[in-house]
Amino acid sequence: MRPLQRGALLLAGAVATGIGGAYLTEQKIEQHLTAAEAALQGDYEKRQVLVAAGDLAPGERVGNDTIAVRAVPATYLHSGAYSSNQWSSVAGSEISGPMRAGETLLPAHIRRNDERRLAARLHSGERAITLPVSSSSSVTELIEPMDSVDLMLTLRDGDTPMTIPLLAEVTILAIGNRLAGVPDDGFGQRSQHITVAVNPLSAARLTHALTLGDIHLALRAPGDAQTPPAFLIDESSIIGDSAENPVGNEIEVIIGGTL
């Protein structure tokens, strides 16, 4: 082989080696950058948490004008930081100490207030149970905590649904997260859930009733202690000779959830 040809081959080999080395180096750098970016994303993954919208003084309440939602890197978050989906549990609470604007809201910032504790409103032997109420009843838009209601159950019994009394003269403790006598500062939202206090047996009956049908409520007048008659309403009682179908003692009516 002539010297000129040998030199050309060596030069081509060197160029190829250089190109291959550059490509491998670039791939290695790309892999390193990808791994570093993934690590950074893991370290700086953000969570939506509650923070002070401005400087807050003790006694101010958690509300739309005092608290904001911010995305904060999880690495720098306190383990007790309130997430945005915990808003209902702190809305309306008092701030226990000064907070600076942007400071993350923590349990230590919330002043304990027994007025907001549902358990503090229960008497010995009572159980609080939360019930979804049928949205078809417009009275749910008008009731307030401490109102008295009768609960009725519409059973889904194949093609022949029927309505029967469930509990009478039941006091509503809360509607959604609203408690009687506690300022909601505009955070109380109309809810299709009510919380009532009953004895353990009635709580079990209500729990089972939810598997059988829909619960409706009828608002009582203040001071009304009359016992409603036992009844069973079905299609025949609506379109038949009478809109009432008394059934005597066949249906047990529990007054106020007492045994």
Query: Would 36 be classed as within a structural domain?
Result: no
Among all chains, which residue has been given the structure tokens 């490509």? 23
SS3 200: helix
The dihedral built from the CA positions of residue 146, 148, 164 and 156, taken in this order, carries a sign that is: negative
Same structural domain for residues 110 and 130? Answer: no
pLDDT in tens, 182-218: 655 444 445 678 889 888 999 999 999 989 888 888 8
Judged by phi (left if over 0) then psi (alpha if -120 to 50, else beta), residue 115 lies in alpha
Single pTM value for the model: 0.50
**pLDDT above 90 for 25:** no
pLDDT in tens, 118-170: 777 788 888 999 888 765 555 666 788 888 889 999 987 667 888 899 998 88
Residue 226's domain spans which residues?
118-237
Judged by phi (left if over 0) then psi (alpha if -120 to 50, else beta), residue 91 lies in beta
Domain count, the chain: 2
pLDDT band, residue 248 (cuts 50/70/90): very low
Query: Would 103 be classed as within a structural domain?
Result: yes
Which residue did the predictor score with more confidence, 190 or 105? 105
Query: Would 40 be classed as within a structural domain?
Result: no
pLDDT in tens, 29-76: 677 666 666 665 555 678 899 999 999 998 898 888 999 999 888 877
Among all chains, which residue has been given the structure tokens 């409520």? 217
Query: What CATH number corresponds to the domain at position 107?
Result: 3.90.1210.10
Query: Would 245 be classed as within a structural domain?
Result: no
Same structural domain for residues 164 and 54? Answer: no
Same structural domain for residues 200 and 146? Answer: yes
Which pLDDT value is given to residue 249?
45
